Chains A and B, each alone.
Chain A
Amino acid sequence: MAEHPQKPANLIKWFDPRNKSLGSWAFILNRITGLGLTLYLFLHLIMLGQLARGPEAYDGFIALVKHPIFLAGELLVVAAAFIHGLNGIRIGITSFGIAASKQKQIFIGLMTVATIAIIYFAIRMFTH
């Protein structure tokens, strides 16, 4: 068969939701949240590096991240974790032929759970 060069330039088209079905929306959401969580992991490691600069530097940093902007960022991390984790369960189940024809219903159900959890955490984070 013919050679098939990869087309990485088309990768950006993965994130184009126009004219796409619910399965693609789940596909796009999983990639965005996955990339977001990976970015957060690096930021988290940099933040932990503050510990090496002594307790005062760390306490100053902790005071800074209690600002509402940082809290909103943390809420995004929580949201990404719920969406990515629960969608991952759906993919894990359906990827081996279990309930593959019910993937839309499973996605809607799990995202409803994710939404409830995100709202719960938002209330907890911004009222305490």
Chain B
Amino acid sequence: MTQTWHVTYEIFRKKGDQPSHFDRFEMEVDPDEYVLDGIERIWAFHDRSLVFSHACHHSTCGACGMLVNGVEKLTCITSIRSVTKDGGVIRVQPMRNFPVISDLSVDMTDFYQRMESVGHQPVVTIGYEDSKGKFNTEDDLLRLSDCIECGLCISACPIAMTTPAYLGPAVLAGAQQSGDLNPCVLELVDSENGAWRCHSAYECTEVCPSNVDPAWRIMDLRKKLVSRRIKKFFGIK
């Protein structure tokens, strides 16, 4: 049987140079609906000027990343039940560490450029390596990369908060996953604002909705960089 909860959405609003504020919307919801469903309903029935990003509704496009009650969430797969209770509040804010375009929508252009510059592959072979080990296969099948480029890891990263020049977890994980540490990529990742800037808070892995485990990938990338340096020092190819 369908339940009905009464919840209050507190939505971050910002237009242009105007100061930001929160708008409150009282809603009757099914607790098993997703946070994004409520935001869409606010846009459809309460305020058509609300700006937010979304597309696929099944955690593939990575467009609907937001801050829900202070935690980075992909709102299309975050149930209302998991973030509040009947009579509770759902405070929705745009992701941190990205420039806000309007309301809940952020500008991710620079992030996408960085992903491209480190050679992140959106499609990878089915044989892959993650924190649980290496999976080899002789099949030349392809699959979508785990990283959906949602940016939640960068939003959660304390270092990205103070140093926007830091490449960030997703970008470094992309470099690790591509495996192609050519001189251009090395210049980016083996640098002050690359893999060595991470301060091991592991928030990226905590909020990643797609099992990328960026923290592990950054540490693995460091291991590869150190190994390269040692080999270079001893003249080993």
Contact = CB atoms under 8 A, between A and B. Distances in A.
Interface of A: 1-2, 4-8, 10-11, 13-14, 18-24, 26-27, 91, 94-97, 100-101, 103-104
Sorting the interface of chain B by its residue count into under 10, 10 to 19, 20 to 34 or 35 or more gives 20 to 34
A91 B222 CA distance: 13
Given A23-B206, A100-B215, A100-B220, 9 more contacts: A1-B110, A7-B161, A14-B161, A19-B69, A23-B200, A23-B203, A23-B205, A101-B132, A101-B216
B200 A27 contact: yes
A7 B202 CA distance: 21
A107 to B, nearest CB: 9
A39 to B, nearest CB: 20
* B contact patch SS: helix
B158 A14 contact: yes
Contacts of B113: 1
Nearest to B114: A1
A7 B223 CA distance: 29
- Chain A interface mostly: helix
Max chain A CB contacts within 10 Å: which of B198, B202, B216, B219? B202
A26 B158 CA distance: 13
Interface string B199-237: 111110110000001011001101100100000000000
B164 A4 contact: yes
